[in-house]
Amino acid sequence: MSIAVRRLAPGDITLIRDLNRLFGRAFEDTDSYGAAPPGDAYLTDLLAKEHVFVIVAFYGEDVAGGLVAYGLDKIEQARREVYLYDLAVDAPHRRKGVATALIAHLRTVCGGTVIFVQADPGDEAALALYAGLGEREDVHHFDIPVSVEV
């Protein structure tokens, strides 16, 4: 059986909801991905944005995996960098090339000069995948709250 991959469009509400459930299982965070799901209008608008990439892989009829990435248009040159925010493959479909196929599809549709992604220390599968596709940079990651007064 082969892997089919495609970017979701505004009418793919059921598929984006399936993908969110998959993310919740894969990241063991069903609350973040399922407790307060956005409405159909929000998801339709999100999927219509040119700089938002929601890509799903199918293994037969099943949603086997997916990714969400965001285009960041730069000001120093007329170019785009892409941040791959979420990528997950459902447990029964791992080690079948699904993640590689998702990233390959993102490369063809994103219009970017580089795709960057972060991976958690200890996530050996993700680290191996990304190391096979690009260069590693050692950087620090900071979450800066928006609602706190400075």
| Whole-number CA gyration radius for the chain | 16
Which residues sit opposite 68 in a β-bridge?
A: 54, 86
The model's pLDDT over 85-124, given as tens digits with 9 standing for 90+, comes to 999 999 999 989 999 999 999 999 999 999 999 888 888 8
CA distances, 148 to each of 38, 141, 143, 144, 145 (Å): 24, 18, 12, 9, 6
Read off the pLDDT band of 141 (50, 70, 90). Answer: confident
127-134: Cβ within 8 A, 24+ apart: 129/99, 129/100, 129/103, 133/100, 133/103
The contacts of residue 133 (CB under 8 Å, 6+ apart) are 100, 103
The pTM assigned to this predicted structure is 0.90
